[in-house]
Amino acid sequence: MKWFDYAAPASLSEAVGLLTAHPGARLLAGGTDLLVQLRAGRKETDLVVDAKHIPELNAISYDAARGLTLGASVPCYRIYKDKNVTGAYPALAEVASLIGGTQIQGRASIGGNLCNAAPSADSVPLLIALHGTCRIAGPRGSREIAVEDFCTAPGRTVLQPGELLVSLHLPPPAPHSGARYLRFIPRNEMDIAVAGAGVEVVLENGRFRSARVALSSVAPTPLYVREAGEALAGSPVDEASIAAAAEIARKSAKPITDMRGTADYRSHLCAVLTRRALEAAVLRARGKN
């Protein structure tokens, strides 16, 4: 690993200033992706900017009317221990406990998972399903963007030079809603998703009022499958509707064959996982689990 300098700015403006002045700088949150990539030579930098001393990036705040604001560098273990998160967004708490193992969760953040922009990022399909938005700060002020628009290619995001992800925002959960992310991995922990499905459903009188489905590991970026949710909206909550949405998810997937599985296998998993996640989300929306 080549030499780099280290800075730990205490404010957002200071951080933006550093990132603007050093185009090669890298933001460090948990470091569980960045340090591995620097060590393997997949990334290089001359300055590492530690995000963990910037107040906005390290806060979790929840308000029943406005929803959840999650600082980009809040580590997973704080997320799944947070009573507001486990109460209002149980699926988010689950996803925070899926990323890596205990030690990784002591460092890794959901914001970092998103900024790393891996197609396999476990938290991103769920953030998409939950209508997540990103707050970005930069030299020209701040802007908001939907999570599904954040990643542009493997390892690439919409962040411009000098910009950083400040926080993620989730609206308050709708009544009779439920969400779930399920992934498939060969081991039971410490593994990269072969495929994953994050869903949210809102139920009304035995029908889906609305639904959102997103997939991991089956496209160059986490994939929002708008059509699957649209097909569910207004449909009865039954096996046939769920199977139809799962089939849309399968067809939308554009996986590659690699060490984690063949393209066919991954497409197949998209249907299985979407169905299972929708079934679990329906149970949750009905107050069972």
Partner 1 sequence: MHTKVRVQTTINGEPQEFLCEPRQSLLECLRDLLGLTGTKEGCNDGNCGACTVLMDDRVVTSCLVLGVEAQGCQITTIEGIARGSELHPLQRSFLENAALQCGICTPGFIVAAKALLDQQPNPSEDEIRLWLANNLCRCTGYDKIIRAVKQAAEQMQEVNA
Partner 2 sequence: MKTQEYTVVGTRPIRHDGVDKVTGRALYGADFQMAGLLYGHILRSPHAHARIRRIDTSKAEQLPGVKAVVTAGDFPEVPERMVDLGEGDTPLSYARGNVLAKGKVLYKGHAIAAVAATSVHVAEEAAGLIEVDYEVLPCVLTAPEAMQDGAAILHDDLKTKEFGEQTGRVSNVAEHFRYAMGDIEAGFAQAEVMVEREFNTATVHQGYIEPHNATALWNNDGRILVWCSTQGSFSVRDVTACLLDVPVSRVRVTPMEIGGGFGGKIPVYLEPVAALLSKKTGKPVKIVMSRKDVFEGSGPTPGSHMKVKIGARKDGRITAAQAYLAYEAGAYPGAMVAPGAMCVFAAYDIANVVIDGFDVVVNKPSTAAYRAPGATNAAFAAESVVDEIAEKLGIDPLDFRLKNAAKEGTRRADGPKYRRIGCVEVIEAMKNHPHYTAPLGGPHRGRGVAIGFWFNVGLPSSCTISVSADGTVNLVEGSTDIGGTRTSIAMQAAEVLGIPAEDVHPTVVDTDSVGFTAVTGGSRTTFATGWAAYEAAQDVVRQMKERAAKIWETEAASVALDRGVFQSGDKRMTFQELAAKLDQTGGPVVGRGAVNPRGVGGSFSGCIADVEVDPETGKVTILRFTSVQDAGKAIHPSYVEGQMQGGSVQGIGWALNEEYFMNDAGSMTNSSLLDYRMPTALDLPMIDTVIVEVPNPGHPFGARGVGEANIVPPPGAIANAIYRAAGVRMNRLPMNPPAIMQAIWSQRD
The binding site for partner 1 (CB under 8 A) comprises: 1-6, 8, 28, 30-32, 35-36, 38-40, 48, 50, 52, 75, 77, 100-104, 106-107, 188-190
- 59-65, Cβ contacts within 8 angstroms, sequence gap of 24 or more: 59/167, 60/84, 60/85, 62/88, 63/172, 64/88, 64/172, 65/172
Select 57 or 199, whichever has its Cβ closest to partner 1.
57
Select 39 or 140, whichever has its Cβ closest to partner 1.
39
Find tokens 């066919």 and name the residue: 264
In the complex, minimum distance from the CB of residue 128 to partner 2, in angstroms, rounded to a whole number: 23
Cα(150)–Cα(43) distance, rounded to whole angstroms?
A: 20
In the complex, minimum distance from the CB of residue 243 to partner 1, in angstroms, rounded to a whole number: 32
Interface residue list for partner 2 (CB under 8 A): 1-3, 40, 101, 184, 186-192, 194, 258-262, 265, 268-269, 272
Name every residue whose Cβ is closer than 8 Å to that of residue 83 and which is 6 or more positions away in sequence.
none
Tell which residue, 278, 111, 246, 113, has the closest CA to residue 181: 278
Pairing of the two strands 67-71 and 5-7: unpaired
Residue type at 50 in one-letter notation:
D
Residue 103: name its binding partner from partner 2, partner 1, none (Cβ under 5 to 8 Å by kind): partner 1
Pairing of the two strands 60-63 and 67-71: antiparallel
Residue 30: name its binding partner from partner 2, partner 1, none (Cβ under 5 to 8 Å by kind): partner 1
Residue 32: name its binding partner from partner 2, partner 1, none (Cβ under 5 to 8 Å by kind): partner 1
Residue 258: name its binding partner from partner 2, partner 1, none (Cβ under 5 to 8 Å by kind): partner 2
In the complex, minimum distance from the CB of residue 110 to partner 1, in angstroms, rounded to a whole number: 16
